[in-house]
Structures are given as structure tokens and as C-alpha cells.
């Protein structure tokens, strides 16, 4: 049997439901930090806001004991990856990676300090009552409990760091409606972390293909403003697809 409802992680009601396997309860409980870190932020109005709408389907056996579940997501506020209002903070994972990650990890991801990254230095970086270092430890424990492989964990962190580096790519005008990357030192880390060619990444954010019926595609340059918008659109696209993969991966663990 299947029951469908939106989970309220602040409530203990679901914890009192009969559950077939204690291990499932542990995994379901420890999936929460993943959502808290990857899809929650601090807005002006409240301490924490979920920038995601989702429901969970719970599966019951013949004795009405929970034997599995499935998360369905249908909204991620991806615009928050690139734009912050006054008093807002981006998704927690960015800050906790920079504050809680080891020196070796940050060196491998080519990361610096919080103030170095455009996507998170536009506004406040702290939340009252939240210890980013401790939350980072909880996140790592969640990965292990949900049986993420080391490669899967590294891929999530690599892409997260890559998005941070993407926000630092700035542009300079090179002619009428044309631009190029201002500092290649900001382009290179993003390309390496996304495992793509540096020149191809630059081309993606500084040009577009114009397609006319009956003609071959024409490469058209972008202005500085258009390239900045293309950079942000790509960052949102990458973060959203990482999130969609995480939903599928967590479902594999708790299903």
C-alpha cells in the first residue's frame, strides 16, 4: 500500500509509525540534513526557509508497517543559487563546505575563504544558532549512513565547489556585442571541477548559436550583460541537475 503526504521533519508523528526495519528509520532520519544543507537557506523573514517543495510516498506491508519510501520533488528555488536579497543567505552547503571542509579537501577543490565568492558574499554568511562546522559533520555522517560511495560524495562536493567558482567568472568587452573572460584564473577552477575543456566552457558563456531556417548555425557573440546571465543560467542548471540526481540517489537508499 502507498500513502502520499508532505513530510514534516519538525514533527515526531512519523517517528511513531510502525516500521519494518530499524535501519530504514535511521536512513530516513539522516536524509533530512541533506535537504537542510542543499535546499535550505536563510531569508529575511525567518531563520530558515525550505526552498523546495516535495512529498514522500511511504510503502506499507500487509501488517501496515512502513517498509520503504520514495521522495518526489517538484520545485527547487534555483534562482537563489545566483541572486541574494538583503539579509538573505544562500544554500547552507556552500558555507559549511568552506567552514567545515578540511584543508586538504579545500585545496583539492581550489577553494579559499567565504568572502572570495560572488554567489555567497552578496549578503550575510552566518545564521544565529547554526554551527556550520558541526552541520558539516552531520552532512558527512548522512552521506555515510545513506551509503553514498566516496566517489559520489566527492562528486557532490566537486560540483558544489564548481558552482562557487562559476560565480566568480567576470567578463570584459572585446568589441561591439562581444566579450571575453576577464581573468582566466577564475575560469580554470570551474572547468577543472566540472571536468570540461576550459575553452569550451568560455565559449558556452560568451557566445550563442543563431539558427535560421535553411541556413547553417551562426555563432554570435554575447555582451557582458548577456554573458553574465548565461553564466548564472548555467550555474542554476548544474545545481538543479545535481539536486535531481540526489533525489534519485536517496530514493535508492530509502526505497
87 vs 80, residue with greater confidence: 80
Question: How far is residue 127 from each of residues 35, 46, 114, 171, 243, measured CA to CA in Å?
Answer: 17, 10, 14, 32, 23
List the grid coordinates of 150: 566516496
Question: How far apart are the C-alpha atoms of 3 and 59, rounded to whole Å?
Answer: 7
Q: Which of 1-10, 66-75, 156-165, 180-189 has the lowest mean pLDDT?
A: 1-10
* Reported confidence tier of residue 116, pLDDT bands at 50, 70, 90: very high
% of residues, the chain, pLDDT over 90: 43
pLDDT of residue 255: 59
| C-beta of residue 39 within 8 angstroms of C-beta of residue 52 | yes
| C-beta of residue 205 within 8 angstroms of C-beta of residue 234 | yes
Q: Which one, of 255, 14, 242, 24, lies nearest residue 145 by Cα?
A: 24
**Total residues found in the chain within this entry:** 255
Please indicate, yes or no, whether the overall pTM of this predicted structure exceeds 0.95.
no
> Across the chain, which distance is largest between two alpha carbons, in Å?
71
pLDDT digits (tens, 9 = 90+) for 133-171: 998 998 898 888 888 999 999 999 999 999 999 999 999
54 vs 229, residue with greater confidence: 229
pLDDT of residue 162: 97
Q: At what angle do helices 22-38 and 92-100 cross, to 10 degrees?
A: 100
Provide the 3-class DSSP secondary structure of residue 70.
strand
Amino acid at each position: 500500500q502507498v500513502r502520499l503526504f508532505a513530510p514534516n521533519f519538525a514533527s515526531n508523528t512519523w517517528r511513531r509509525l510502525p516500521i519494518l526495519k530499524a535501519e530504514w528509520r535511521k536512513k530516513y532520519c539522516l536524509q533530512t540534513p541533506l535537504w537542510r544543507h542543499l535546499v535550505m537557506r536563510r531569508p529575511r523573514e525567518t531563520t530558515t526557509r525550505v526552498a523546495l517543495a516535495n512529498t514522500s510516498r511511504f510503502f506499507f506491508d500487509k501488517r501496515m508497517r512502513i517498509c520503504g519510501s520514495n521522495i518526489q520533488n517538484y520545485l527547487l528555488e534555483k534562482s537563489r543559487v545566483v541572486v541574494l536579497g538583503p539579509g538573505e543567505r544562500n544554500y547552507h552547503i556552500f558555507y559549511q563546505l568552506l567552514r567545515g571542509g578540511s584543508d586538504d579537501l579545500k585545496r583539492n577543490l581550489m577553494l579559499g575563504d567565504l568572502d572570495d565568492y560572488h554567489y555567497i558574499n552578496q549578503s550575510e554568511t552566518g545564521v544565529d544558532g547554526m554551527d556550520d562546522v558541526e552541520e558539516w559533520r552531520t552532512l558527512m555522517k548522512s552521506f555515510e549512513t545513506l551509503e553514498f560511495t566516496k566517489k559520489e560524495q566527492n562528486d557532490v562536493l566537486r560540483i558544489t565547489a564548481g558552482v562557487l567558482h562559476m560565480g566568480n567568472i567576470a567578463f570584459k568587452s572585446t568589441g561591439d556585442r562581444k566579450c571575453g573572460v576577464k581573468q582566466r584564473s577564475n575560469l580554470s577552477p570551474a572547468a577543472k571541477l566540472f571536468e570540461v575543456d576550459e575553452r569550451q566552457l568560455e565559449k558556452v558563456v560568451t557566445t550563442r548559436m543563431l539558427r535560421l531556417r535553411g541556413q547553417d548555425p551562426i555563432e554570435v557573440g554575447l555582451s557582458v550583460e548577456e554573458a553574465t546571465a548565461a553564466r548564472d543560467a548555467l550555474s542554476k542548471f548544474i545545481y538543479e541537475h545535481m539536486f535531481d540526481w540526489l533525489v534519485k540517489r536517496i530514493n535508492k537508499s530509502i526505497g
